[in-house]
Chains A and B, each alone.
Chain A
Amino acid sequence: MKMFAIKFNKIVSVLLSVLWVGTASAVDKEKPINPFDYNFCGGERVYPIVGVNIATACGPRNQIALGRRGKISWVFPAYGSELERSGSFRLTDEQLDELSLYAEVVMVSNSQAPDNSHVLYKMGVNFSARKPAYVYSSMNDEYTPSNKLLHAMQSHVPDKPKLPECEESLSFFDPTMRMEDRLQLIKSANNTERQKLAKQQ
């Protein structure tokens, strides 16, 4: 009788704990409690998507991206004697929380137009269920929400983007264009300038 009671107690305790774990996970799925879980999907946390193209007028198109599941990826194409650099890995939750905060500010802020700068970038930020934000700006050390986010993302990437100095440049250019297309534009812009000068003389 005593043995039966012990066995019965064991069975009941196991059943209760299984039941408790079941209800707990059901509650967790129903109502996330972390303040960042407003981007919560399929039982797993998701993060804003951030995509950036960075380039100088004559240099390759460097790309850094943050994926919805928290992976950072980068591709810095080959340039001159330097080989292509690329990779991806998942950031820690703390690093992702920090980047999410910076992305929130980019979402709210109005984009600052690029100045006549050496390095330009285009950035897109997309939180689920919200209107995406786009930024076209100059990369420098001045504080802007998008510069802050870009520098924070870059600090997690072990490689450096290829941003060569350019002898001939355009005032404004599109960093999402391929390098060959941008070089073609520089060439044609210079030709137009030469033709204009020739006409004036």
Chain B
Amino acid sequence: MKTTFLKLILLMVVVWICNSTAYATESGYQGLLVKPAKSLNPQSMVDHKGQAINFPQKNGNMKFVFFGYTSCPDVCPMTLSRIKQLIKKLGPTADKLEYYFVSIDPQRDNTEQLKHFVSYYDKSITGLTGKPRSIKALENEFGILTRKFQGKSAFAYTLEHSVFIYLLDEQGRLRVMYPASTPVNAIISDIELLRKNNNELVLR
């Protein structure tokens, strides 16, 4: 009897911890809702196939965006693995979304390296690079800070950067931000909620 009671208490504590770490807000979203949605100025970028692209495009697809660099030792591989999990869990509906990895390191990341890096995780992830000025402008649009830690040689450096996954709506506006550690299920529930809310707006 006593053991059952203790187990029940333990279960309640676990449930409470799980709920409190999901970044739930009064907005109804599990991530951090940007309200009002922020329109972003498109920038001239180049994708990992070498094609020019104005990013973000307003093409009716939701987009996930993450900033990093291919020699990033810890946080970028971890986040891309999470995006890979997300794509797997979304199943067939994953095709209706787009996934972008924006390199903040134009000095070292060329299109070939980007292609190799992103396709290791999932073929539907698009790597983006561009001129330093365009990348900086895009970083500013998303409010990202990057900082360089110089090593012993010109190419030996690491970059500190903000680690959020950004969700853009069908109109290419910034809607939700996720700390890189957000559980995949929380992101999926937000996608459904965002779709529902957008449909309601269209019907009105």
Interface size on A, residues (CB 8 A): 25
Contact residues in B for A96 (Cβ distance below 8 Å): none
Known: A101-B32, A110-B36, A145-B35. A31 touches B163 (CB 8 A): no
**Do the beta carbons of B142 and A108 come within 8 Å of each other?**
yes
B177 at the interface (CB under 8 A from A): yes
B36 and A101 contact, CB distance less than 8 A = no
A30 touches which one: B149, B161, B179 (CB < 8 A)?
Answer: B149
Q: In the complex, A31 Cα to B160 Cα: how many Å?
A: 9
User: Quick one: which of A103-129 are within 8 Å of B by CB?
Assistant: 104-105, 107-110, 112, 127, 129
A127 interface neighbour in B25, B33, B145, B161, Cβ under 8 Å: B145
Instruction: Decide if A134 is an interface residue (CB 8 Å cutoff).
Output: no
Shortest beta-carbon distance, B166 to chain A, in Å?
Answer: 9
A32 at the interface (CB under 8 A from B): yes
Q: Enumerate B101-120 residues with CB–CB distance to A below 8 Å.
A: none
- In the bound complex, residues from chain B placing their C-beta under 8 Å from that of A145 are 32-35
Chain B contact residues (Cβ within 8 angstroms of A): what range?
Answer: 20 to 34
- Cβ A108 vs Cβ B145 within 8 A: no
B58 within 8 A of A: no
The answer to whether residues A143 and B33 also contact, given A38-B160, A129-B147, A148-B26 and a CB cut-off of 8 A, is: yes
Minimal beta-carbon separation of B20 from chain A (angstroms): 10
B174 at interface, CB cutoff 8 A? yes
Q: Map CB proximity to A onto B158-185 as digits: 1 under 8 Å, 0 otherwise.
A: 1011111000000000100101100000
B75 contacts A107, CB within 8 Å? no
Contact with B along A83-111 (1 / 0, CB 8 A): 00000000000000000011011011110
Chain A, 32-60, CB within 8 A of any chain B CB: 32-33, 35, 37-38, 40
The CA-CA distance from A107 to B161 in the complex, in Å, is 15
List the A side residues contacting B32 at CB < 8 Å: 101-102, 104-105, 145
Interface positions, chain B 129-161, Cβ under 8 Å from A, are: 142-143, 145, 147, 149, 158, 160-161
Q: Which residues of A contact B27 (CB under 8 A)?
A: 143, 148
Q: Which B residues are in CB contact (< 8 Å) with A33?
A: 74
Nearest Cβ on chain A to B112's Cβ, whole angstroms? 27
When the two chains form the complex, which single residue of B25, B38, B162 contacts A109, counting CB atoms closer than 8 Å?
B38
Identity of the chain B residue whose Cβ is nearest the Cβ of A97 in the assembled complex: B179
Q: Which of B35, B75, B161, B164 contacts A104 (CB 8 A)?
A: B164
Q: Residue B143 contacts which of A40, A101, A102, A108 (CB distance < 8 angstroms)?
A: A108
Residues of A within 8 A of B179 (CB): 35, 101
A130-B143 in contact (CB<8A): yes
Given contact pairs A110-B36, A143-B26, enumerate 8 new A-B contacts (beta carbons under 8 Å).
A30-B149, A40-B160, A104-B164, A104-B177, A105-B32, A110-B38, A129-B147, A141-B26
